[in-house]
Structure 1
């Protein structure tokens, strides 16, 4: 339950709406007291159970004096207009009082919608921001579906269980069945009349229910959009981080989340209208009962004693108030607290990749990259061991070797997707951990084996993470990447939506868009992670040509599966089981009777 109170701190930014909710609730309580308290004394005067007050009493601000003054004015109406006319007046007065009572109740809920949905929106935004900044290692230990469930189902559970239950705790539980049984015992005739009137009120309430269902359908569709963005974010987190697009992704998500929140506010306002409307319709039924039953009591053949009729009216009025159980509220709080704990697990997850408070800026790459005695372990398993490597500016270094040897981990250390367990990586004489993370990643462009594209236009995918980019720059980058021709054949050219993960494009087309994105970023350091391994021959030729243009005059770190693509590298590093076992140029390594020669001959034979 401690975490529940932590979540409630999110109410502070919405205190204005919370105070308005409290204010209207006060008015609601006052009108509830007046509307209920006035019925019995009025009927007692009307039916002669209490003597009429003929002399106006002196008013003193005491309960007895207030009641006496109230009885005097009611008595005056009865005397001047007669009992039947006074009954009509009383019915109208009751309707007015209950109308304002429910008006204030609805206004309290109206402003509560901003608080409830605002808190949920902030929790969801905080969770999304946390997902963006958590290290990649966190997601190797978590299921994406579970993370999405925490951001959606668990957050929604907090809204439904915690926020709703706190309101319910302060309401007295009612036993509807007990009240109905009591009404039947008092007067079966009046109760039968009530059941005849109920279908009319039920029809009006059902109309609102259908409208609420339509709005809820829109909300569920918008939630699907949120889930889609979340899934793309987790899948494309490497690209988001590498292209410094955390701010862009956060802004995109916040916009969709705000649209969803606006829809949810409409849904809650419609839903919250249902209860006061049902009560108001119930009061209309109550007024009809008072009129119908009152005539039975006042008629010559009265078949119900006045006192019992008054009791009947009071019992029926209790049915109008929604029956909410304190026990149910308690269980809801317990149910919701489990979701709060799951949310807190993500929010409190350790941010392993931290930036020093005095981190230095780096805007250009001047000299070299040095891996010095680098060692990396994951879950007690050694992935890299004693890696020493110098990459001079403008050189192309190729990493080859069996799968699982540590090649991808080695390049992932450079943009600080992970940090070394031991040793250090140095750029221009400064260790990576001393740089600002955004500046460090700003130096690098990444093209991976699996093209990470987003459900957006071609233009936005190429310009991803960059600001103030014009169409001419995007077209130039696409042309260099051999992508302009096929882009212009698309339905809307650069403004064509390419589907989830670029599903409307072929593998080669997706890869060329990824290369265009890296070209537009124009980074001094380039990381290519098996960028052509999954392509057919024709696509590989186009992509390889684009890569050669991209790598020109850049420092490149290339992971290669097809050795024919890296024969002209300045140095080839052979990695096996986390260690560098060979290094040299292609011609030098082929002359050696080592692993590289075996791999090369195997591929040549194939």
Structure 2
């Protein structure tokens, strides 16, 4: 959705976030009012000083007014401090709340959303866009309010002192207002283009840094450099456009202000020479300050409106994500304390893309405590079943039940707590091994982690690392081999003590020693709980209670290892013989 020049509905929505900080908000407004009054007092006191004490040569009165102006100046500095400080504190508090709300919202999106949403764009929304919202308050809204108050107070003093000179100033203001309005419209379009290019650049850089190994393996450095050069050029042009508009506007504003001052001095000088008692030298002195106080805020309002506009555009982008309620998963109400482990899929159909079914009416029943293996070619739908059991995606039709209860009825937290998953592509956070195993769960003690590691034979490997359980694996676990990462993921699932264990290609990318460790632990881990194993390496599943063979989203064969080998021209038999011959 494209942001308007000023979207009042969006602005009201932003202001709702100030409600917990009403006292601070009022403090900023009060500081702005007091600041505008004391700021306008300085030129007024200057007029009085010139007319009452400098012209009559009254040194004692001059000293008194100079001291009075010093007090006003101190008060102006004090109010300016509180105004700026409180406005920035309010802005930071608000973006803290919005950022928490946005991240909490993202954590509950369906996995389908993250399949298509660029990561760099989400990072931009969560970090830089929200940071820009703070400038609505620190550099935009309150600065504009303060400037408008100053202008109103200054005009009041000017009309009180000399309405004739003031009319000359007022006559010039519509010209500056018109120029300012044109500038605002141009800048709004330019800034929206800037934010778009920033999001594009973030997305591009994030993807290339993450996939740097592929870039270098396939010698794409020059190609990616040229692509980045094009994106960077668009970003550069978007900013140059804003620089151009600023370069045109501010000189024009300065010229209008200078011409206005020239006319005031000319007219006021003529009135003084003609003996007009209502126009004094004090008026001319004070008006040189008043015109700056009147025109500079009007000129700066355009710049501050730009800051506010940038914040509004960023807020619009953030709220677009917050408004995606259809992407949030509907949570159940039943808390799953413990599963016996009976799983049943009835006529389950599912498609990632509408019209392109991945699962085509799957019927499958797993008894409590059974170990079920699912095999098939890539794209057959094996991993999709795992995604559906964890409710990462919602099925198109059919039903999935655990212990006779539809999984939609369970709360997502309790459902996933009872299902332990070891994926082929292991993701580790830039943290210690211990924290990657427990994932911050306070119910899992260090002693239980060490005991579990010893039980499955991982303890020695961890103790061999610098810092052992406190070893920092760095981003995505780059300090560990793929086999070591797999073992950590296996231990992570084991210590959570799930009712159902799922291993998705869990031994497909590890070395022989690591595979032996996992194979050794499998019997212990699967004891007393339902287990589902997805694997290409059939040697790891020959002892499964039941083997499900999938092809193109359907179950084509079912039975134990011995039964499936007896099927003439069976898919499993061909696959097993092929792998056996390769191993031989």
The answer to whether the superposition gives a TM-score over 0.5 is: yes
1:409 CA drift (Å):
0.8
Is the Cα contact below 8 Å between 1:162 and 1:332 reproduced in 2? no
Q: Give, in whole Å, the separation in 2 of the partners of 1:507 and 1:27.
A: 65
Alignment partners' CA distance in 1, 2:549 and 2:341: 24
Tell me the residue number matched to 2:374. 399
Assess if the C-alpha contact under 8 Å between 2:341 and 2:529 holds in 1.
Answer: no
- The answer for the alignment partner of 1:364 in structure 2 is 338
Encode CA deviations 1:416-457: one digit per residue, 9 max, x unaligned.
Answer: 111211010111111111122222112111110111211111
Partner of 1:490, secondary structure, is coil
Question: Do the aligned partners of 1:477 and 1:519 also contact (CA within 8 Å) in 2?
Answer: yes
Residue matched to 1:97: 72
Q: How well do the aligned residues superpose, as a CA RMSD in angstroms?
A: 2.7
1:377 and 2:351 matched: yes
CA distance in 1, matches of 2:328, 2:37: 55
| 8 Å CA contact 1:480, 1:516 repeated in 2 | no
Question: What is the 5 A alignment of 1:144-155?
Answer: 144-155=119-130
| SS of residue paired to 1:456 | coil
> Which deviations, in whole Å up to 9, do the C-alpha atoms of 1:121-154 show, x marking residues without a partner?
1111111111110010011121111111111121
Equivalents in 2 of 1:312, 1:26: separation in Å?
Answer: 25
Q: In the alignment, is residue 519 of structure 1 matched against residue 494 of structure 2?
A: yes
Map residues 299-338 of structure 1 onto 2, 5 A cutoff: 311-312=284-285, 314-316=287-289, 323=297, 324-338=299-313
Instruction: Assess if the C-alpha contact under 8 Å between 2:418 and 2:500 holds in 1.
Output: yes
Aligned partner of 1:28 in structure 2 is: 35
**CA-to-partner distance for each residue in 1:148-198, whole Å, 9 max, x for gaps?**
1111121122222576322243325999xxxxxxxxxxxxxxxxxxxxxxx
2:559 pairs with one of 584, 588, 600: 584
Q: Does 1:569 align with 2:576?
A: no
Residue in structure 2 matched with residue 4 of structure 1 by the alignment = 11
Q: What is residue 603 of structure 1 aligned with on the other side? A: 579
1:483: Cα distance to partner? Answer: 2.0
Unaligned runs of 5+ in 2: 1-6, 152-201, 211-278
SS in 1 for 2:400: strand
Match of 2:21?
Answer: 14
What aligned pairs does 1:237-386 form with structure 2 within 5 A after superposition? 311-312=284-285, 314-316=287-289, 323=297, 324-349=299-324, 350-356=326-332, 359-366=333-340, 368-380=342-354, 381-386=356-361
> Which of 392, 406, 410 is the matching residue for 1:417?
392
What secondary structure does 2:483 align onto? helix
Conservation of the 8 A alpha-carbon contact between 1:512 and 1:546 = no
- The alpha-carbon distance between structure 1 residues 112 and 162, as it changes in their structure 2 partners (threshold 3 A), is closer
Please state whether the residue corresponding to 2:75 is helix, strand or coil: helix
For residue 379 of structure 1, give the secondary structure of its aligned residue in structure 2. Answer: coil
CA distance in 1, matches of 2:351, 2:67: 80
Q: Deviations over 1:10-43 (max 9, x none)?
A: 1111112111112222222232233332220122
SS of the counterpart of 2:466?
coil
Which ranges in structure 1 are unaligned for 5 or more consecutive residues? 50-81, 176-226, 236-305
Closer, same or farther: CA 334–101 of 1 in aligned 2, 3 Å = closer
Cα 1:34–1:331 change in 2 (3 A) is closer
Q: Once the 2 structures are TM-superposed, how far is the Cα of residue 328 of structure 1 from its aligned partner? A: 3.5
Q: 1:400, 1:572 within 8 Å by CA — same for their partners in 2?
A: yes
Aligned residue for 1:262?
none
CA distance in 2, matches of 1:22, 1:430: 57
* Distance (Å, rounded) in 1 between the aligned partners of 2:74 and 2:116: 56
1:553 aligned residue: 528
Superposition map of 1:427-442 within 5 A: 427-442=402-417
CA distance in 1, matches of 2:351, 2:469: 43
Q: Give the secondary-structure state (helix, strand or coil) at the position aligned to 2:374.
A: strand
Pairing 1:26-65 to 2, within 5 Å after superposition = 26-48=33-55
Distance in structure 2 (CA, Å) of the matches to 1:483 and 1:314: 82
Pairing partner for 1:594 from 539, 545, 570: 570
Shift of 1:399: 0.8
Alignment match, 1:263: none
Give the distance between the partners of 2:42 and 2:286, measured in 1 at CA: 12
- Out of 93, 96, 100, the residue aligned to residue 125 of structure 1 is 100
Matched, 1:479 2:486: no
> Using the alignment, how far apart are the partners of 2:306 and 2:378 within structure 1?
52
For 1:468 and 1:314, the matched residues in 2 are separated by 72
Partner in structure 2 of residue 463 of structure 1: 438
Q: Secondary structure in 1 aligned to 2:363?
A: strand
Provide the rounded CA distance (Å) in 2 between the counterparts of 1:390 and 1:31: 80
CA distance in 1, matches of 2:523, 2:370: 13
| Deviation larger for 17-26 or 124-133 | 17-26
Q: 1:427 to 1:531 in 2, by over 3 A?
A: same
Aligned to 2:477: 502
The alpha carbon displacement at 1:591 in A equals 1.9
Conserved? CA contact 1:526–1:556, under 8 Å: yes
Report what 1:279 is aligned to: none
In structure 2, distance between residues paired with 1:367 and 1:549: 17
Match of 2:420 in 1: 445
Render the CA deviation track for 1:337-388: whole Å, top value 9, x for unaligned: 33222212211112452024xx222211125111111111222110101111
Q: Are residues 383 and 163 of structure 1, via their aligned partners in 2, closer, same or farther at CA, if it must alter by over 3 Å?
A: farther
Residues 197-252 of structure 1, C-alpha deviation per residue, up to 9 Å, x if partnerless? xxxxxxxxxxxxxxxxxxxxxxxxxxxxxx9xxx99xx9xxxxxxxxxxxxxxxxx
Q: Structure 1 pair 123/367, CA: closer, same or farther in 2 (3 Å)? A: closer
CA distance in 1, matches of 2:33, 2:293: 19
TM-fit CA distance, 1:552: 2.7
SS of alignment partner, residue 340 of structure 2 = coil
Q: Deviations over 1:529-576 (max 9, x none)?
A: 101111122232223333443223321111102111111111111111
Q: 1:505 to 1:367 in 2, by over 3 A?
A: closer
Report the TM-score, using the length of structure 1 for normalisation.
0.69
Contact 1:571 1:585 in 2 (8 A): yes
Cα separation, partners in 2 of 1:95 and 1:317, compared to 1, 3 Å: farther
